[in-house]
Structure 1
């Protein structure tokens, strides 16, 4: 219960000067030239820690790499019950992408004390979440900063606790408690990332006054498939030799 999750080495300490340069360039590109030349502003952004919790469809790994490209200290927190196909190693063969990857040791929302759950996320200033991250954050007593739903975490999970649903606390207590905390957490998300009217409609069934942010998510980290990065991916892929044989 107290063992620490595996994680990849953090790139932040050795790449601080590189990250500072990226931050300045990003601020200038976004029209914040004064902030880019403000040492205090840059130093504050360098110290900020961002976490993305869950990785359905590898969407958050793609998003995390964009944040790292901006120079931000970014950590991807995966769950031990993630489908293996949606782990970062199934999305890229490259290293040095600037994202710290850590597997949370959380298995169930009621399997540990809230203080122990909190100890694994207390270092972060901002947390984005998908899936059951909402339930875990509610169990801890924290409001999720941004919820990015992928589907069933919005239209199914929050309703699993209902006594007249398919699962109830007597037949399936695991789903019951996950559903109850998921519904409670959705009401306290500081923002919900919406990419379709479907999301808006499903949120309205649970939360009356949700702060919905309309924008699309980057499901693919495009720079990984451009120029030298693409060449490196092809060179590092264990499937490349087989494709070369097929083409002969």
Structure 2
């Protein structure tokens, strides 16, 4: 009897040690060696068919349906009058159930802040906001780069970034993309960046992006309609090339919640 009791104690201890409650990776879920990344310009949560309306639930619904691990978001209002003095960054975190976010302010706007953010299922750390240059002669808006470290359930860490480049004049896009490349050149972890680059694939801005990163698509599907034009200006890119493999890339055909369509890619992590 004493011997059987001994084995029961040992076996019970092993069960406790291996249970999900005591295994953070099990409770957090698993990326299966890959990460699903989305970029989405949300038009300050204003559906283009409803001028003046704010529908945070619609944006949150798109994110929840697509179920990415990390989202780069652009055109976020925090406490602006035009959006009803709500904190869209905090509300999107709450309504999606994505606990971790980093908001980066670009400008003061209408009594509050306007900028970009990173939203993540997984913990974010080492969060940074980098100001990007603007040519004063263009009258363009100041823009920023938002960067953070995401720790995935398997313990791997990657740097994730969100950006929204200015479209005024011909100089701001290349000027700001050059600065993005300079800032991210010093990163020691692999990087995934997503954003509204306000530039088509044949532009100098995207050529600069392609010099430092590998995009998840070439000859990409359109992400915004401007008049009679259908343009691809929202992209996801990564570096170094050998660390990631593109398992899938897709532009979601969602046209109610924002004037941009969300872009998402699933990347296998090879390290």
Q: Which category describes the TM-score, using the shorter chain as reference length? A: 0.3 to 0.5
Q: Which has the larger radius of gyration?
A: 2
Bigger fraction of residues in strand: 2
Q: TM-score, normalised by structure 1?
A: 0.34
- Name the structure where helix makes up a greater proportion of residues: 1
